[in-house]
Copies of this chain bind each other. A is one copy, B any other.
Amino acid sequence: MNSKLTKSEKATLRERAEEAWRVELEESLTEDIMKTFVMKKVGEVGFVEKDRPECGSLDAILRPTKGLICTSDVHTVHGAIGERKNLTLGHEVVGVVEEVGELVTKFKRGDRVAVGSITPDWGSDAAQAGHPSQSGGALGGWKFANVKDGTFAEYVHVNEADANLAPIPDGVSDEAAVYVCDMMSTGFMAAENAGIPIGGTVAVFAQGPVGLMCTAGARLQGAGYVIAVESVPKRQELARYYGADEVVDFTKVDPVQRILDVTGGEGVDAAIEAFGASKVFKQCVMVIKPGGKVSNAGYHGEGEVIEIPREEWGVGMAEKDIVTGLCPGGRLRISRLLRLLENGRLDPTPMTTHTFQFLEIEKAFRMMENKEDGMIKPLIDFGR
């Protein structure tokens, strides 16, 4: 940005730009083609035009109102899940129902809805086994920006709409609701998986937006003492806001030693890995007491293996179990998370550090790569 302009000149320019984008978007809405923000190939992103998605008999088409960019979108562009050609990015979105298939009974055009980032096939064996996020194979419920186009588009296709959409209650804003799709669902899942006893002790490693929601989730599960491991001041501050009793700065002290110290040497009941690295995972194994749990929320994007430290794992016999999960989706889950917002249990919007118009998304994306300007979550406003 040109810093020589006055603040008011910049505001005017911004207003004009937003007006221009709105017009551009509205024009495209009258046509069968739409703008989408895609991964053109590994390492390259940009806008392309695509045909509007078609609506199958069980499906819905959504017009997004608000979205969020996720670090995993960045990973994807860097090649974490392999090559993709012009794949529409994004998986965190709320919006308005544009169209539903003829077998859809619970939603209709105009409904204000959220959709989980994971949209399972509910009849699959995995869903019947209680693992809907794995429907159709490992991580198979993860469809947006993985096996089909994602949510950074003017229209978004939702499979099994009756089962995967949830109505947003009147008292909940789009800006808050969009956090249920992934951040709250994933973070709370990790806290639930951790099996925290009421009054128990928990360490949460990393306080990015998922880690912050792990911290909030640990509190919602009744933890008696929550230790957050984080070095970035803004994130430390939010960690305390969401309920951490203590914040450990791993750049200043050894987090393993510190956690053992504050627990009288015995370790915590549960550790949550919200970073996604073998080194951090090992620390989780080290800080839990025998009989404790490591709950993994992190996306492990690198290396051949994740390592379990043999001795601290009690040579495989210390009852230090390792539990994992992938962002639970589905109408019921999403509705329950929205209920928490409706009844004031927490406010996720302090995590929104920046806001961008849809057509500005490339800039937001670039900033997300390096978490520039203290970025935690950039909100994408679809301008409607």
Chain A residues within 8 Å of B, Cβ to Cβ:
57-58, 80, 103, 122-134, 137-140, 160, 162-163, 188, 192, 197-201, 217, 220-222, 224-225, 245, 266, 273, 276, 282, 289-291, 296-310, 313-326, 330-333, 335-340, 342-343, 345
Contact = CB atoms under 8 A, between A and B. Distances in A.
A198 B160 contact: no
**Closest 3 pairs between A and B when the two form their complex, measured CB to CB:** A199-B336, A123-B163, A131-B291
A224 B290 contact: no
Given A129-B291, A305-B310, A197 B324 contact: no
A333 B322 CA distance: 24
Given A103-B57, A290-B137, A316 B343 contact: no
Nearest to A164: B123
Contact of A309 (B138, B163, B291, B305): B305
Given A128-B132, A306-B310, A318 B276 contact: no
Contact of A128 (B224, B297, B314, B331): B331
A383 to B, nearest CB: 30
B332 A316 contact: no
Contacts of A132: 128
B134 A318 contact: yes
Given A128-B332, A291-B126, A339-B224, A306 B298 contact: no
B123 A162 contact: yes
Given A139-B317, A305-B307, 6 more contacts: A123-B163, A128-B163, A198-B221, A199-B336, A222-B340, A304-B309
Contact of A139 (B130, B307, B318): B318
Contact of A318 (B138, B197, B199): B138
